[in-house]
Structure 1
Amino acid sequence: MDRNALKQSQLCGSWEMKERLGIGGFGHVYLYQHLDTGEKIAVKLCRLELNSKNKGRWSREIQIMKKLNHVNVVQAREVPEELSSIALNDLPLLAMEYCSKGDLRKVLNKPENCCGLKESEILSLLSDIGSGIQYLHENKIIHRDLKPENIVLQELVHKIIDLGYAKDLDQGSLCTSFVGTLQYLAPELFESKPYTVTVDYWSFGTVIFECACGFRPFLHHMQPVQWTSKVKNKGPKDIMAIEDMNGEVRFSAHLPYPNNLSRPLSEPIESLLQMLLLWDPAARGGGVDPETNKPHCYTTLQNILNMKVIHVLDMTSAQLHSLVLGPEDSLHSLQLHLETHTQTHISPLSQELLLETGISLDPRRPPAHCLPDGPVCLKNTNAYPHSHMTVHDSHFPVADVGEMRNLNRDFHFTLRKVWGEAVSYICGLKEDYLHLYQGQRAAMLSLLRYNTNLTRYKNQLFSQSQQLRAKLAFFKTSIEHDLEQYTKQRHTGICERGVSG
């Protein structure tokens, strides 16, 4: 244990140390909670053994943190006076907002995420971290150590931490200060070449790829010293590299399967990765977009985030269709698209599109304005009542023979990949059947709503029919009375006095 690591439940006035959150290159991070208010802050304590150069970097980093203000960059807090007693060698403490959901590595390590995060989570990461990086670069700050461990979550918001620690590191200190994190560093940092903000693009692209697929893009089982020489000659569109059973490196410009991205989003994200993972630092990011005066990668990123993708579950075939909606696309145009995509070519007149609550999509509003979180249920109103749903099996993972032969050489990575795909397959089945359950539930709720409405209409009709019956009875009685009077008048005549009177 580090000699300056704090003990559990250490009290500093009204502040209690609850736990150690992590260990960084420059110090330990602890969680402190105020005993009266319950306020929580993360406090970073500088390590005792730092040399004078690193102590200077530490102080400079605190100054940088205090001037930043962005929702996707962790914010500095004022250090409570009561905590000043734990500072070492007169080095200042760094107090930050506490992000309760942990870091991105914790999320990636969950079994269900072994082959990548869900599409919605990836889009959230793209939005948050892309915005945070752009803000840092606008403030002349290069992070240089962007990785899952340096991305934390506060509720549903991603935030960047550990800013600027690598800004002035030389070649020798890289090897000592970034042990275990070299996999995310841009290649030029290993070659003592001049660097720019594009080093963060490479790290961002590596993080995106890992979040989409569950592993890093380039020979993830090797150390950078090994893979840089093998990957440096990759093509400009290559975004991943694997080693086959013969030891040859094979490149690809596409995301590997399995992953959780829908077809409309896969290609744009591949294009974004091709810009971020260019080997040439000068070309990385795609150059400057003349319309926005920003790198093309930010334009591509914003286009991805602006896409309106609707997922529609066809309850007849149990297939999930993902379609891109224009801002003014009507419900009818969506139904026309579905007619061409569904196996049975369900006509728009026979389509009923239901939300998870069983409510039909409003034809007066563009579907892009009311996109739900989950899939929309497509019900064929003309389907035969006893027809059976055809469930198509998902792609079952079969271990590659070459991979199995590599078990002895890369046992851990190969076995992890096989197990990961098996877990992903099972999670996919669970997700498919959950969607089917939600679709059946939506259909049932829709029928119950129709039944409720029909019952109300029936009661209204019954009430109106009773009123009509009463009016009809009164009308019949009136006619009978009038006819009776007319008969009397026909025999007796009309009295002139009575008429005039």
Structure 2
Amino acid sequence: MPSTPNYLWELEDLLGQGATASVYKARNKKSGEEVAVKVFNNTSYLRPFEVQMREFEMLGKLNHINIVKLFAVEETGSPKQKVLVMEYCSSGSLLSVLEEPENAFGLSESEFLIVVQCVVAGMNHLRENGIVHRDIKPGNIMRLIGEDGRSIYKLTDFGAARQLQDDETFISLYGTEEYLHPDMYERAVLRKPQQKVYGVTVDLWSIGVTFYHAASGSLPFIPYGGPRNNKKIMHKITAEKPPGAIAGVQQKENGSIQWIYELPVTCRLSEGLRTQLEAILPNILEADQEKCWGFDQFFAETNNILERMVIHVFSLPQARMHTVYIHHYNSVAKLMDVVAKKTGVAPERQAYFYEGHLYPINPTLQAQHLSKTTEQHPFIVIGCENEGRMGVAYKDPAFDFPRFLPSIDVTADCSIAKNVVSAVYQTLRVTQSLLTCQEFILRGTYWLIENLKAECCRITEKKSAMMSYFHCIYSTENRNTRLYNAAYKESAIDIQDQGECQKKLQLIRNTLSSCSHSQDKESMLGFLLLEVTKDQDYIRMDTSTDRLKHCLQKMQLIFKEFKKRKHNPRLSYNEEQIHKLDKINLANLAKKVLTIFQEEIVQKYQAALSGHSSRMRTISEIQNHLRLVNGYLTTCVQDLRSYEESANHTVDRLAQRVQQTCVVQPNHSPGSSYNGPAQQELTARMLKLRDQMKSVSYELEKNNGIIERLNVS
């Protein structure tokens, strides 16, 4: 068993192998702690001594959570071989993560952000120490699971690294060709002589390719036949990439290059994050080193993404989820502007639901004061009826299902089986997105209908109160008229034009009468609510996801057997027959998956969108009706309040006249004409009028109380 004074390992525990060294999982002889040992072979000693020592020196300078730690430098074997004892990352590399069928279309959004954060932090530490890595790729980014269950990614393999400041250059060649800057590729891979020198930004190109690979699951630059089989076209794609493009693919032999400016729709990142990333990639995937961003700008732009908070907003009119990346200190008005661009709902028309309740939105507040949202618990925005494309944007997974070749080729069959399993993972994700969309449609519609039902009740109550108010005002007006006529019995100079008053009151009565059918609308909403509740029950009982998962489990077991056979290509007759049956079984399971998806899931989803569109039109009509009725009631209350002020004015004038009459009469001398029975009768009548006016004032105050209580304005 190979060993050093303090560590030992088995040759079967190989973790990785390169041109100059092999990496094994080893153990500390005393503590049993697992470590990784990098054992250099004889080829490595053919390099200049300063190059051999460079990796030791580099790792000795570095100390960061996102860089693999160097524990010791020891020797083994005879002749003595240098051994680097390093931190062991038990979860493989980023490349091994991307090679899993589940991640064939890229990492999940949360995992991708962790990769970006770790790589940026690790590279920042390298630049602070004036080091250029020169071989950034997914295989040199190791993964460790932290105590909180989250991934930690660490840069490793500093065999090509060297000390280099921002303004310095180098001419030596290192790196992996798919991730190599086109200038270095031309000289190292195509073997073309050139006088170019290279700066630290060559690492940025490699980071750009790595980020694209992690986001999409595939390399950005792919000539026909593959990068390693068509090297001239590979260089042509990378060197001639137009500004703004982030990928280039050649579909046919000697065919034109298709330039790509956006991440693929199959990418698992949200539109909000894709937009941010698509603004960075063209500026680091830049062949002209003079035009490429520097590290300072790269760090600033990537940290600008990482520092943002994420707000999940489901647009009910669009039936689509939006993920908004916004700074904590941005105002809510900024969020509303972003939502307006994504949904077409103007900020002044936006209303938000959160956990079943209307959520008060204050545009002046900072976004950090909003309630925390998740993919399962987003804000649901409502507004005017959407006229654009509705629903989830997705690619039909059927295009990603490959077919098996009739002949037996265990290597090719294993590759095809992996692609089939990957396509099933993607189908499952699309299915979950479509079901989640339906759940949010029904959840948001339910909340909206309940809110409108409550609004119907409020408007019905307001209308009822308004009718009571109207009748009180009408009664008060008639009593005022009688009192006015009684007080001014012998004078018609100040008498109101009763015909005009009656005409205005009749107009108000007609307006109130037109504010009808709110109860009909409430009944209509009740019917819609029953529909939504029934659909929610159907969604809860849906078994399509479970059936797809069941198929996937069976397919994973077959794929596992294919991987075993790949390492032993010589099959016996019986093994060949079993292999053929496994291929048939895998193909039948793939057909079943597609049948479930296309004939059940998609059809139900399309029906749900159609039903949602119809419901939203009905709800929009009801909303417009309620808005119109509320406007009528507002006009009525303003008119009635105007009448109330007029009535108050009349009562005040009557009160002054009665007061003057009651005060003046006793001052006349006995025997005057004012002391007769007629005068006594007038005084008594005036006192009675005063008591009646108190009753009128009480009625007016009561009317005001009704309106203020209902807050009708």
Fold similarity call, TM over 0.5:
yes
Determine if contact 2:6/2:28 at 8 Å carries over to the other structure. Answer: no
How does the TM-score come out when normalised to structure 1?
0.66
Determine if contact 1:125/1:158 at 8 Å carries over to the other structure. Answer: yes
- Cα gap change, 1:248/1:57 in structure 2, threshold over 3 Å: closer, same or farther? same
Cα separation, 2, equivalents of 1:91 and 1:441: 67
**Match of residue 301 from structure 2:** 300
**Match of residue 154 from structure 2:** 159
Deviations 1:173-223 (A, max 9, x none): 95xx86xx3111111213352111011011000001111111111125223
**Match of residue 233 from structure 1:** 240
Q: 1:115 aligns with which of 99, 105, 119?
A: 105
Deviations 1:281-336 (A, max 9, x none): 22212x5xxxxxx6322222122222322223468975312223342457798689
Listed as ranges, the matches of 1:219-258 within 5 Å are 219=222, 221-223=226-228, 224-245=231-252, 247-258=255-266
**Match of residue 205 from structure 1:** 208
Deviations 1:356-394 (A, max 9, x none): xx999998996546645644244699xxxxxxxx97684
Q: 1:44 aligns with which of 38, 48, 69?
A: 38
Q: 2:198 aligns with which of 195, 200, 224?
A: 195
Cα separation, 1, equivalents of 2:438 and 2:4: 51
Cα separation, 2, equivalents of 1:415 and 1:70: 40
**Match of residue 96 from structure 1:** 86
Cα deviation, residue 131, structure 1: 2.1
Cα separation, 1, equivalents of 2:379 and 2:14: 50
**Which stretch has the larger CA shift, 98-107 or 228-237?**
228-237
- Cα gap change, 1:421/1:44 in structure 2, threshold over 3 Å: closer, same or farther? closer
**Partner SS, residue 68 of structure 2:** coil
Determine if contact 1:143/1:167 at 8 Å carries over to the other structure. Answer: yes
**Partner SS, residue 222 of structure 2:** coil
**Partner SS, residue 50 of structure 1:** helix
Deviations 1:453-494 (A, max 9, x none): xxxxxxxxxxxxxxxxxxxxxxxxxxxxxxxxxxxxxxxxxx
- Cα gap change, 1:88/1:281 in structure 2, threshold over 3 Å: closer, same or farther? farther
Cα separation, 1, equivalents of 2:340 and 2:276: 25
Determine if contact 1:148/1:207 at 8 Å carries over to the other structure. Answer: yes
- Cα gap change, 1:235/1:56 in structure 2, threshold over 3 Å: closer, same or farther? same
- Cα gap change, 1:278/1:25 in structure 2, threshold over 3 Å: closer, same or farther? same
Determine if contact 1:258/1:421 at 8 Å carries over to the other structure. Answer: no
Cα separation, 2, equivalents of 1:262 and 1:393: 11
**Partner SS, residue 282 of structure 1:** coil
Cα separation, 2, equivalents of 1:325 and 1:172: 42
Q: 2:54 aligns with which of 44, 60, 73?
A: 60
**Partner SS, residue 311 of structure 2:** strand
Q: Percent identity?
A: 27
Q: Which amino acid aligns with 2:179?
A: Y
Deviations 1:9-43 (A, max 9, x none): x7977755582211123211111224663422111
Cα deviation, residue 145, structure 1: 1.0
Listed as ranges, the matches of 1:177-192 within 5 Å are 181-189=176-184, 190-191=186-187, 192=194
- Cα gap change, 1:399/1:68 in structure 2, threshold over 3 Å: closer, same or farther? same
- Cα gap change, 1:329/1:173 in structure 2, threshold over 3 Å: closer, same or farther? closer
- Cα gap change, 1:415/1:199 in structure 2, threshold over 3 Å: closer, same or farther? same
Q: 1:267 aligns with which of 251, 275, 279?
A: 275
1:24 aligns with 2:3: no
Determine if contact 1:332/1:363 at 8 Å carries over to the other structure. Answer: no
**Partner SS, residue 92 of structure 1:** strand
Determine if contact 1:309/1:325 at 8 Å carries over to the other structure. Answer: yes
Determine if contact 2:119/2:155 at 8 Å carries over to the other structure. Answer: yes
Cα separation, 2, equivalents of 1:24 and 1:276: 27
Listed as ranges, the matches of 1:423-434 within 5 Å are 423=424, 425-432=426-433
Cα deviation, residue 149, structure 1: 0.6
Cα separation, 2, equivalents of 1:394 and 1:14: 52
The structure that has the greater radius of gyration is 2
**Match of residue 123 from structure 2:** 133
Cα separation, 1, equivalents of 2:350 and 2:160: 61
Determine if contact 1:317/1:343 at 8 Å carries over to the other structure. Answer: no
Segments of structure 1 that go 5 or more residues without pairing to the other structure are 1-5, 288-293, 382-389, 405-410, 447-501
- Cα gap change, 1:441/1:129 in structure 2, threshold over 3 Å: closer, same or farther? farther
Deviations 1:94-153 (A, max 9, x none): 111111111001110111211111122222212211222232233222211111110001
Determine if contact 2:308/2:328 at 8 Å carries over to the other structure. Answer: no
Cα separation, 2, equivalents of 1:113 and 1:148: 13
Cα deviation, residue 55, structure 1: 5.7
Determine if contact 1:19/1:30 at 8 Å carries over to the other structure. Answer: yes
- Cα gap change, 1:336/1:344 in structure 2, threshold over 3 Å: closer, same or farther? closer
Cα separation, 1, equivalents of 2:137 and 2:331: 41
Determine if contact 2:216/2:266 at 8 Å carries over to the other structure. Answer: yes
Cα deviation, residue 249, structure 1: 1.2
Cα separation, 2, equivalents of 1:219 and 1:435: 34
**Partner SS, residue 261 of structure 1:** coil
**Match of residue 324 from structure 1:** 325
**Match of residue 73 from structure 1:** 67
**Match of residue 395 from structure 1:** 395
Q: Which amino acid aligns with 2:271?
A: R
Segments of structure 2 that go 5 or more residues without pairing to the other structure are 146-150, 164-169, 188-193, 383-389, 404-411, 448-713
Cα separation, 2, equivalents of 1:250 and 1:11: 53
**Match of residue 217 from structure 2:** 214
Cα separation, 2, equivalents of 1:160 and 1:225: 30
Q: 1:124 aligns with which of 114, 135, 141?
A: 114
Cα deviation, residue 277, structure 1: 0.7
Determine if contact 1:141/1:164 at 8 Å carries over to the other structure. Answer: no
Cα separation, 2, equivalents of 1:98 and 1:442: 47
Q: Which amino acid aligns with 2:41?
A: R
Cα deviation, residue 241, structure 1: 0.7
Cα separation, 2, equivalents of 1:150 and 1:69: 17
**Partner SS, residue 281 of structure 2:** helix
**Partner SS, residue 131 of structure 2:** coil
Matched pairs, number: 401
Cα deviation, residue 164, structure 1: 3.9
**Partner SS, residue 44 of structure 1:** strand
Cα separation, 1, equivalents of 2:296 and 2:339: 36
**Match of residue 530 from structure 2:** none
**Match of residue 463 from structure 1:** none
Cα separation, 2, equivalents of 1:344 and 1:59: 62
**Which stretch has the larger CA shift, 49-58 or 26-35?**
49-58
- Cα gap change, 1:141/1:333 in structure 2, threshold over 3 Å: closer, same or farther? closer
Determine if contact 1:236/1:279 at 8 Å carries over to the other structure. Answer: no
Q: Which amino acid aligns with 1:77?
A: F
Q: Which amino acid aligns with 1:232?
A: A
Determine if contact 1:72/1:132 at 8 Å carries over to the other structure. Answer: yes
**Partner SS, residue 323 of structure 1:** strand
Cα separation, 2, equivalents of 1:310 and 1:332: 14
Cα separation, 1, equivalents of 2:27 and 2:439: 41
Q: Which amino acid aligns with 1:194?
A: V
